[in-house]
Amino acid sequence: MVQKVRLRYAKRGPVRFTSHRDFARALERALRRANIPVAFSQGFTPHPKISYASAAPTGVASEAEYVELGLQAPMDPAELATALDAALSPGLDVVEAVTVTTTDSLAERLVASRWRIELPGVEPAELARAVAAFEAAEEVAVARLTKQGRRQVDVRGAVVAITTGSASVPSGVDDVPCAIIECVVRQVTPSVRPDDILSGLQAVAGLTPPVPARATRLAQGPLTAQGEIADPLAADRRGMTAERVG
């Protein structure tokens, strides 16, 4: 392995229904079609050196998914991003790529996410009441099915900030209210996902959306003191610039 590259990619539109495993298969095939010199592990069944980090759940769109590739031959990250994006299905879009110039892991950088959750058919005022109740609670326990079985998870503790808004629905259906949640959620174990937030709102305020919500991960990265999400690739990008200058 001569180089590591970190990618940000988006999952948009219908392909948001890909599961993490679906994406992994699609990525491996796209890497082969694009002739990207991915490094392989040694051993009887060699695996490509690809590390995934906290993937968005199936059905949730994302503007900020991250993956790290190990290469066996050097390649310009911008070229790699263009070639890989062309080989991936429309909707699975490579947004940017940087060469890794730091030593800490990608997972360590992905401390929190900002989510946007659209709730067609929910009155904004009703949502605001539910969110206020949620914020007022010290703890909001939600049942989650994990690999270890059913677990109670505190959703409230993971939520750094939560705000509400409204919009017309994206599909353009007339006269249907659409409330919107934007929230910053810390990466905890087990992870708190948009569905869990909605379960939390149902638990504290009985909020029951009439149709499935549409969630999008807008950003993912380190959490600033102000509760904002920073760019997780910034450090590597600075390193790349420094290398070019030096």
Partner 1 sequence: MSESVESVWPRLEPLLPRVSKPIQYVGGELGAQVKGWDTAAVRWALMYPDAYEVGLPNQGIQILYEVLNEQPDVLAERTYAVWPDLEALMREHGVPQFTVDAHRPVGAFDLLGVSFATELGYTNLLTALDLAGIPLTATDRDERHPVVIAGGHAAFNPEPVAEFLDAVVLGDGEEAVLEITAIVRQWKAEGRPGGREELLSRLARTEAVYVPRFYDVDYLPDGRIQRVVPNRPDVPFRVHKRTTMDLDQWPYPKKPLVPLAETVHERYAVEIFRGCTRGCRFCQAGMITRPVRERSITTIGQMVADGLANSGFSEVGLLSLSSADHSEIGDICSGLADRYQGTNISLSLPSTRVDAFNVELAKELSRNGRRTGLTFAPEGGSERIRRVINKMVTEEDLIRTVVTAYTNGWRHVKLYFMCGLPTETDEDVLQIARLAHEVIRAGREATGSKDIRCTVSIGGFVPKPHTPFQWVGQTPPEVIDRRLQLLKQAINSDRSLGRAIGFRYHDGEPSLIEGLLSRGDRRVAAVIRKVWEEGGRFDGWSEHFSFQRWVDAAAAVLPAYGVDLDWYTTRERDEHEVLPWDHLDSGLDKDWLWQDWQDALAEVEQDDCRWTPCFDCGVCPSMGTEIQIGPSGRKLLPVTPV
Q: Is 22 in the site for partner 1 (CB under 8 A)?
A: yes
Give the residue ranges of DSSP H helices in the chain. 20-33, 77-87, 106-109, 124-136, 194-205, 234-245
Residue 129 token pair: 């009441």
CA distances from 165 to 127, 170, 182 (A): 9, 14, 8
Task: Choose the binding region for partner 1 from 22-30, 130-138, 139-147, 182-190 (rule: CB under 8 A).
Answer: 22-30
CA distances from 149 to 93, 152, 178 (A): 34, 10, 34
What gap in Å lies between CA 225 and CA 81, rounded to an integer? 31
Please identify, using beta-carbon distances, which residue of 19 and 163 lies nearer to partner 1: 19
Which residue in 12, 37, 59, 161 binds partner 1 (CB under 8 A)?
Answer: 59
Task: Choose the binding region for partner 1 from 42-50, 77-85, 123-131, 179-187 (rule: CB under 8 A).
Answer: 42-50
Please identify, using beta-carbon distances, which residue of 119 and 233 lies nearer to partner 1: 119
What gap in Å lies between CA 237 and CA 246, rounded to an integer? 14
Which residue in 2, 20, 32, 188 binds partner 1 (CB under 8 A)?
Answer: 32
Residue 6 beta carbon to partner 1: minimum distance, rounded to whole angstroms? 22
Which residue in 1, 2, 20, 21 binds partner 1 (CB under 8 A)?
Answer: 21
One DSSP character per residue, 24-49 reads HHHHHHHHHHTT--B-B--SSS--B-
Q: Is 239 in the site for partner 1 (CB under 8 A)?
A: no
Which residue in 45, 148, 208, 226 binds partner 1 (CB under 8 A)?
Answer: 45
Number of residues that bind partner 1 (CB under 8 A): 31
Residue 47 beta carbon to partner 1: minimum distance, rounded to whole angstroms? 9
Residue 25 token pair: 């298969």
Please identify, using beta-carbon distances, which residue of 58 and 102 lies nearer to partner 1: 58
Residue 169 beta carbon to partner 1: minimum distance, rounded to whole angstroms? 10
Per-residue b or e along 35-56, where b marks 16 or more CB atoms closer than 10 Å to that residue's CB: ebebbeeeeeeeebbbeebbbb
Site track for partner 1 across 162-191, x = CB under 8 A: ---------x--------------------
Q: Is 211 in the site for partner 1 (CB under 8 A)?
A: yes
3-state helix, strand, coil in the chain (%, to 5): 30, 35, 35
One-letter amino acid at 202 equals Q
What gap in Å lies between CA 79 and CA 130, rounded to an integer? 47
For residue 190, whether the previous peptide bond is cis, meaning omega lies within 30 degrees of 0, is: yes
Q: Which of residues 79-138 bind partner 1 (CB under 8 A)?
A: 87, 89-91
- Note the residues at the interface with partner 1 (CB under 8 A): 14-15, 17-19, 21-23, 25-26, 28-33, 35, 40, 44-46, 48, 58-59, 87, 89-91, 171, 211-212
